[in-house]
Structure 1
Amino acid sequence: MVVLKNSFTIRPAEPTPRSGICISDCDQDKPITHAPLIYFYGSLPCLSFASIIETLKISLSKALVSFYPLAGRLYWTTGNGGRVALNCNSMGARLYEAESDAKIEDFGDFCPTPKLRSLVPSMDYSDPLHQLPLLLVQLTKFNCGGVSLGLATSHIMIDGTSFSHFMSTWAKIARGEPLDVLPFLDRTLLLARDPPIPPQFNHERFNPPPLLIGRSDNQEERSKETTVAMFHLSKTQVEKLKRMANVGRATNVQSYSRYEAVAGHLWRCTCKAREHENNQITKLYFAVNFHNRMLPPLPQGYFGNAYLRIAASSQSGELMTRPLGHASSKIREAMEMVTDDYVRSAIDLVKVQRDLTRFRTYHTVGSTQGHFYGNPNIEITSWIGLPLKNVDFGWGKEIYMGPANVAFDGKCFVFRGHDGDGSLTIAIRLQVAHMDALKEFFYKGISDWSCSKL
């Protein structure tokens, strides 16, 4: 059981600008809810819990001087279709001090169950938006002497790249080290054109996700019981999937990456586990970071959302019967669409939407709002390329970092193994009726590859 002992409001250590920071059109369709993430640190015999809390309080206050938008509050704009604005009022972040009678080993492989989620602050979204902190932190002390650091951050404010920049900066301040890259706070770089240009591309982000054959809506699929599991891939298994994906690849096609191989394999296996009909249309939704796809590239340290959710599409029968390279090629095809022109067209399309609410996904399990990306589809968030790990506040690097929640059917996270040994971990939520089959097909498909049985 987790017991909250204290809570603190952490404001910037120095006066910060009070002028509003633009919320770009690229930010506006992102989740209003807070993305939960967890770090675990082993036993800290040389440090008292009180000293750790004090270090976090002081260093976070200093970090919020540079990252002062995180100390502000969002509010709904008047009659503007679910859009928000930011008030840089220095109301501060929230830091909670907690204790648990559990030990770190009690969390096993750190599967994001409600037990793990209890280590991250929760929000009551029935409260007015302008009262909700944009950053919440919870430090929990365990019976074994270790601690966890749970973070909940408004996705309207930042993406994974900006979050990792913030965490790195905060940790450097805690260690007393000089800062290198300060956040670039001007989000007007990602405003829509004036006037917006009519769509030049088919932006899958704004199309309703496919339904199961024979269904007129997704309500039945939304209501089904789901569960979460962790899949672990060794370096050897990851390399084997890459070889599988690249068999028969044309010489003029660049080798498929480990992400394209792993994502393609997961996509195929979910179709098989869900027992799709061959002509079932299925989509794999995933995020593409476009910092370096813009002309010119976004400035180093750009602070805000700079990714697009896009979709690869196929018939389930093709995915299940053709080699893995087919699934990987569909992912590559979607990824290569994201150019400067594509990004600007997508941003223009956000601007002209009457109501953005229906496009948002939520970090709360069981949410019935927004588009549904579950059966027959999946959505993958990849942290493979993000520097989220090795966050050292002066007491050593974490022993584990991962998501504290996986919100809906078909949603999964892919991230690097802790030891940097080339392994990968996948946290996925799926309907209970299909999870056992997915586990079987996922690992059997790798071990049986030489027999070409998948």
Structure 2
Amino acid sequence: MAPDSSLTFNVHRKEAVLVAPAKQTPHEFKRLSDIDDQEGLRFHIPVIQFYRYNPSMKGSDPAKVIRDALANVLVPYYPFAGRLREIQDGSRKLVVECTGEGILFIEADADVQLEQFGDLLQPPFPCLEELLFDIPGSSQVLNAPLLLIQVTRLQCGGFIFALRLHHAMSDAQGLIQFMTAVAEMARGHLTPSIPPVWSRELLEARSPPCPSFAHREYDVVEDTKGTLMPLDDMAHQSFFFGKREIAALRKHSPPHLRQKISTFDLLTACLWKCRTVALSPDPDEEMRIICIVNARGTKSGLNLPEGYYGNAFAFPVAISTADKLCKNPLGYALELVRQAKSEVDHEYMHSLADLMVLRGRPHFTVVRAYLVSDVTRAGFGDVDFGWGKAAYGGPAKGGVGAIPGVASFYIPFTNAKGEDGIVVPVCLPGPAMEKFVAELNTLLSDPVKRMEEQIEYPVFRSAL
């Protein structure tokens, strides 16, 4: 049973409170990196976790357990209890003033059971604005709490943990590190298993700044043909890709790449092509696919320390005219995606930091652009506050910032048949969504013999 988009329920919230560190913490100013404070990360990103009733935790209040754990975790993670300021020298540089004021916390109860959300928990979720309530003034970039957390108890004994993070503070891996620390302390640990490391100077611009890549993801592109997504008549659907779907896509890839191409590259090329066909742009318009590429680990050469919880990723972009993207086989888009991703290494990241300083920390372009982010390995669903792993854990909605339709997340998912795969929330104008589904069904067909079972079951849909 898919999520019921018509489901409504009442949420009774207590007044929001500030949870401060359990002990006194340093009052100091800490600079964000030049990757952290770019314009495209100056927003709050929502995450949601659904937890089932656990008989072994009977008598334990998840709101109290998590609130107490937060106070303890904010001692080593004290910058989260501060507020962002902007240096007043024209540079737009962000710093955290570690004031110890705390993060916003909301305790709530809902007259609904987890089962009523359906067996297939996936975005978009009904009544999300009630499960992660926007306290007036709390979503500002500057001088506002950096985290807002709401714990909503359900009638069945389960609960929902919803969180909103200022993205300039952390990426998905950094957030998971923080959430895991909260979960560990909720289960009785005295300290986090991975101590937090600030070290944002490792991703500061060089002196003097000298970008060595073109970084076309930050091109200034005029929206001369009205190609940004409209705010009305938007359709939201979630698409499931299991082993059969990935195998079908793989048959469309060039023979020399067929066995070694990654699932991410296949999905990204597929979605970029389908979305372009669906939007029907002019043939000569340049279309962009922006991939979020993690620069942690030894492969990049950055050598960021374990425990680093800042943003450590880049937005490499692949570009093609709409005509070439629509008319060429999937392998064409695939090669462009692979080439864009391959550029990201330590030099690329330092070049990116340099560009941010020289160009006033610009926003990545969103005109005729589509951004994808893979959170299948992030570990949101593994966060255990004592009630077990989450029934669903990950992005609360498909998209990024306040721009509709510009981004999708790749989220780990198990369908009604027990098959593991990836669910991808997509947001498009209503008529374009119909074209998107038709083009996707074509790619999910065997190049030799059309697989009718794939046409029956290409997606799990959640339309608003």
The TM-score range, normalised by the shorter chain, is 0.7 to 0.9
- SS of equivalent residue, structure 1 residue 138: strand
Contact 2:398 2:427 in 1 (8 A): yes
1:47 Cα deviation from its structure 2 partner:
4.0
Distance (whole Å) between structure 1 residues aligned to residue 278 and residue 290 of structure 2: 18
1:205 Cα deviation from its structure 2 partner:
2.5
1:344 Cα deviation from its structure 2 partner:
0.8
- 1:296–1:142 CA distance, 2 compared to 1 (3 A): closer
Distance (whole Å) between structure 1 residues aligned to residue 407 and residue 126 of structure 2: 16
- SS of equivalent residue, structure 2 residue 208: coil
What is the correspondence of 1:238-249 to structure 2 with a 5 Å cutoff? 238-245=246-253, 247-249=254-256
Within the candidate set 370, 383, 386, 1:378 is matched to 370
Within the candidate set 267, 274, 277, 2:272 is matched to 267
- SS of equivalent residue, structure 1 residue 333: helix
1:99 Cα deviation from its structure 2 partner:
1.7
Does structure 1 residue 10 correspond to structure 2 residue 6? Answer: no
C-alpha distance after superposition, 1:139-178 (max 9, x if no partner): 1122333211000001010001101111111111111246
Contact 1:210 1:283 in 2 (8 A): no
Distance (whole Å) between structure 2 residues aligned to residue 398 and residue 128 of structure 1: 29
Structure 2 stretches of 5 or more lacking a match? 1-9, 456-464
Distance (whole Å) between structure 2 residues aligned to residue 190 and residue 335 of structure 1: 19
Contact 2:52 2:387 in 1 (8 A): no
Within the candidate set 162, 186, 205, 1:192 is matched to 205
Query: AA paired with 2:218?
Result: F
Match of 1:303 in 2: 309
1:124 Cα deviation from its structure 2 partner:
3.8
- SS of equivalent residue, structure 1 residue 450: coil
Distance (whole Å) between structure 1 residues aligned to residue 186 and residue 375 of structure 2: 24
Does structure 1 residue 416 correspond to structure 2 residue 424? Answer: no
Match of 1:71 in 2: 81
Identity, % of aligned pairs?
Answer: 27
- SS of equivalent residue, structure 2 residue 48: strand
Q: RMSD between aligned alpha carbons?
A: 2.7
Distance (whole Å) between structure 2 residues aligned to residue 161 and residue 25 of structure 1: 18
1:439 Cα deviation from its structure 2 partner:
2.2
1:218 Cα deviation from its structure 2 partner:
4.7
Distance (whole Å) between structure 2 residues aligned to residue 189 and residue 259 of structure 1: 28
- More deviation in 85-94 or 418-427? 418-427
Query: AA paired with 1:151?
Result: L
1:74 Cα deviation from its structure 2 partner:
0.5
Distance (whole Å) between structure 1 residues aligned to residue 195 and residue 100 of structure 2: 19
What is the correspondence of 1:346-357 to structure 2 with a 5 Å cutoff? 346-354=352-360, 356=361
1:237 Cα deviation from its structure 2 partner:
1.6
Distance (whole Å) between structure 2 residues aligned to residue 249 and residue 278 of structure 1: 29
- 1:262–1:218 CA distance, 2 compared to 1 (3 A): closer
1:285 Cα deviation from its structure 2 partner:
1.1
Query: AA paired with 1:64?
Result: L
- SS of equivalent residue, structure 2 residue 61: helix
- 1:449–1:138 CA distance, 2 compared to 1 (3 A): farther
Contact 2:138 2:145 in 1 (8 A): no
- More deviation in 106-115 or 175-184? 106-115
Does structure 1 residue 290 correspond to structure 2 residue 284? Answer: no
C-alpha distance after superposition, 1:229-272 (max 9, x if no partner): 11112232223323433x32269xx8210000011111111111
Distance (whole Å) between structure 1 residues aligned to residue 139 and residue 146 of structure 2: 13
- 1:60–1:49 CA distance, 2 compared to 1 (3 A): farther
Within the candidate set 70, 84, 107, 2:117 is matched to 107
Structure 1 stretches of 5 or more lacking a match? 361-370
Within the candidate set 390, 400, 418, 1:398 is matched to 390
Match of 1:363 in 2: none
- 1:163–1:68 CA distance, 2 compared to 1 (3 A): same
Contact 2:236 2:428 in 1 (8 A): yes
- 1:347–1:49 CA distance, 2 compared to 1 (3 A): farther
TM-score (norm 1): 0.87
Does structure 1 residue 320 correspond to structure 2 residue 333? Answer: no
Distance (whole Å) between structure 2 residues aligned to residue 424 and residue 250 of structure 1: 21
- 1:349–1:52 CA distance, 2 compared to 1 (3 A): same
Query: AA paired with 2:109?
Result: E
Query: AA paired with 1:186?
Result: S
Distance (whole Å) between structure 2 residues aligned to residue 105 and residue 127 of structure 1: 31
